[in-house]
């Protein structure tokens, strides 16, 4: 997906460019291509970005460590402010809470592929559980762990068995 020059949006019908998406987003490993659409509208001082997409991704369960497939869906919108930013000279800069917004240059480019990738990453569940009734890793035989002891330590194991508990 190629970047959209922001000045080109002003010449588009209704100042909007809509893109259909049906491709893999390279940094995001999905089983199916990301399918959906993204629309970018120039609103004068900001861009209004809307997107709907879905894909199937393989995750690892936090409880049982098994891999499982899940569908990621998003229906998001975001305002991206258009403003020229001064080059940063200080190592630290105090920022007001209302300044914690995304902004890009009005003469720059907007990359809908990068925006969609970021939104898909945010849609991945923080708590990755394969099933609601997942009980986690089962320890059926806690004493069976001793069977995995290296035979070179067998003398130590024999001494440990002689000690009173």
Measured CA angle at 83 (ends 78, 85), to 5 deg? 115
| The two three-digit tokens of residue 75, written as one number | 């229906």
- SS3 assignment, position 36: strand
Q: Are 69 and 54 in contact (CB under 8 A)?
A: no
> What is the predicted pLDDT for the residue at 29?
92
Q: pLDDT by residue (tens digit) across 58-91?
A: 999 999 999 999 999 999 999 999 987 655 666 7
The structural domains of the chain, with segments of one domain joined by +, span: 4-139
CA 37 vs. chain centroid, Å, equals: 18
For residues 120-131, average pLDDT:
94
Q: 126 pLDDT exceeds 60? A: yes
Encoding tokens for residue 37? 């659409």
Residue 121 is given by DSSP the state H
For residue 84, what are the contacts with CB-CB under 8 A and spacing of at least 6? 105, 106
């Amino acid at each position: 997906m190629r970047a959209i020059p922001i000045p080109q949006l002003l010449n588009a019908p209704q100042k909007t460019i809509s893109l259909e998406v049906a491709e893999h987003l390279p940094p995001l490993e999905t089983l199916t291509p990301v399918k959906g659409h993204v629309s970018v509208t120039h609103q004068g001082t900001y861009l209004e970005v809307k997107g709907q997409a879905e894909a199937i991704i393989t995750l690892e369960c936090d409880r049982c460590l098994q891999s499982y497939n899940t569908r990621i869906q998003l229906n998001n919108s975001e305002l991206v402010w258009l403003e020229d930013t001064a080059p940063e000279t200080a190592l630290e800069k105090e920022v007001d809470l209302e300044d914690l917004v995304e902004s890009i240059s009005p003469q720059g480019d907007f990359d809908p592929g990068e925006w969609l990738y970021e939104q898909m990453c945010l849609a991945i569940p923080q708590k990755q559980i394969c099933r609601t009734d997942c009980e986690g890793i089962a320890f059926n035989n806690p004493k069976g762990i001793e069977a995995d002891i290296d035979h070179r330590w067998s003398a130590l194991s024999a001494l440990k068995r002689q000690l009173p508990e």
